[in-house]
Structures are given as structure tokens and as C-alpha cells.
Amino acid sequence: MLKFHDCVPCLVRQALDASRMATSNEEVHERTLRKVLQAFAETSLEQFPARLSYMTHTIVKRETGCPDPYFQMKQYFNQVAGSLYPRLKEEIEKMENRFEAAIKLAIAGNIIDFSIRDADTVYRTIEDTLSKSFAIDHLQEFREALTRSRKILYIGDNAGETFFDRILIEELPMEKVTYVVKGGPIINDATFEDAKAAGIHELVRVISIGSSTPGTMLDMCSDEFREEFLSSDLIISKGQANYETLQDSPVDVVFLLRVKCPTISRDTGKPIGSIILQ
């Protein structure tokens, strides 16, 4: 993937937002910002945005003394998504093309973000996503890959989104599937607690990448996870950070994502708001 400088101001903004979630101390906010800006001035920008994100949020945690600035926000997302799950599950079961609808719903779950604060907005956005066509549509190839694969890793993305992942997992050959989360808190990414909140652990095996990094940077994952990854036939990858970090994967990957920023829009050649099954 090409690297874009546009990610830098976005990550600086994230640093300020995260430091404010961690503490009300404005001196800490300023110190955190200065440390992040200094780090950007001294590091190469020709690397994956996920690596720059990891650097940014490591500084935030260190300077604020808060190991999980997004904890309350993740709890809120889980509550919102959990309240929607029964209604969405019922609607999926009525649809003629359940599998395609479940894929779109899993992608739609990626709109749960810090700018969306209420269940009604989430639901309206989900309805919009379900009505869209895939901007990149490899549905048939996905079906074929599922049939021939014996071991499937489903790499999740965010807290709350796990409820939407569950709906898709219930349409997959679950005996083949292992769900993957982060080894610890990083931004609003899903951990085991978030998978458990959605009940995914009751359906399939749940493992972690063995680290607390955005995306799936194999060189920063545990040896155990790398063995699981390399012994799999198919990877289902959710979200933008996993898209960034798994494009050169030695294992077949199906990317499920919603284009949410100009960087990914330029890389995919698709407009912001597009849904992609690639």
C-alpha cells in the first residue's frame, strides 16, 4: 500500500482526543501533543499508517498514565450494538440473500465510530449500507474460498462491531472459523472482552494476535499467532487498518471494509462511503 502524509494530522487529532478521554488535565494534553509532534518530526513517514498510529497511541498511554483511554467509549459501543443485534438478526433471517446481507451488515458495523453517539444514527447508516452495492465485489470468489478452506481466521476490528461480526459468523461454516482480537487495549479495537460481550466465544474459538497494535502487523504479533495465521487457508479481514497491513499477506485474504478516509479512497480508487468485498 502507498503511504500518505495525510494520516499525520488525523493521528495528531486522535492523540488530543484520546488524551482528553484519559484525563481532564490540560497540561497533560499539551505535553502529550508536544511528544507526539516531536515523534513525528523524528520518524520516517514512509511506513504504514498503522505503525504511525501505534507510535501515537503508545505516547498517549505513557504520557497520560492511562492504559485504555477508550474504555468507556468501547463500553458504550457494545451497549449500542448489543441493543441492535436482535432486531438486525431478525431482519437478516427474513432476507432472501442472507449471506450477502450478512456481509454488508458486518461491513456496516464499521461505521460505529467516535462521531456517532446514538443507536438511531447507527441504524439509519446500517440501512443505507444494506441498500448499497459493493464498489468492489468478489462475492463469488469469497463463496468459493469458504468452500475449499479448512481453516479460517476472521480478524475483527472494533468494539461494538463484534456484534455485527457475530451475524456474519453465524452464516459461515463455524466449525472452520477462529475469531481474532487484540491482545490488549489499542484505540477502540476489539479485545477478548468485546468478543465475549457479543457472545462470539460461544460460537467459535477466540484468540488474540498477541500484541496491542493497530491492524495485523505480523512482525509484531506473537509466535503463536503467526503459526495460526500461516497455517490457515483463508483470512477474513475487517476494517481499514487490517486492509493496510495485510495486503502483502502470504495467505489468501478477503477484505471487508467501508472506505472512511481519503487515504483508503485513493488506494482503492473508490469514493468515501463505498463498501468493499475484495
Distance of alpha carbon 153 from alpha carbon 160, whole angstroms: 19
Domain range summary for the chain, segments of one domain joined by +: 7-64, 71-277
From the CB of residue 124, how many other CB atoms can be counted at a distance below 10 Å? 12
- HSE (side-chain half, CA atoms, 13 Å) at 44: 4
Q: Find the mean pLDDT for residues 126-135.
A: 89
Q: What is the dihedral of CA 12, 17, 18, 20, to 10 degrees?
A: 130
Q: State the Cα torsion 260-83-192-15 to the nearest 10°.
A: 40
Helix, strand, coil shares of the chain as percentages rounded to 5? 55, 10, 30
DSSP sequence for 110-137: GG--TT--SHHHHHHHHHHHHHSPPSEE
CATH superfamily of 71-277: Uncharacterised protein PF01937, DUF89, domain 3 (3.40.50.10880)
Q: What is the pLDDT of residues 134-145, one digit of tens each?
A: 999 999 999 999
Q: Quote the percentage of the chain above a pLDDT of 90.
A: 80
User: Pairing between strand 136-137 and 275-277?
Assistant: parallel
Q: How far apart are the first and last CA of the chain?
A: 15
Q: Give the model confidence (pLDDT) of 5-57 as tens digits.
A: 888 999 999 999 999 999 999 999 999 999 999 999 999 888 889 999 999 99
Lookup result for grid cell 477502540: 188
Quick one: average pLDDT of 210-220? 96
Task: Check: CB of residue 235 under 8 Å from CB of residue 155.
Answer: yes
Given this model, what pLDDT does residue 1 score?
A: 46
For the chain, counts of helices (H) and of strands (E): 12, 7
Mean per-residue pLDDT over the chain, rounded: 93
Distance separating alpha carbons of residues 238 and 155, to the nearest angstrom? 6
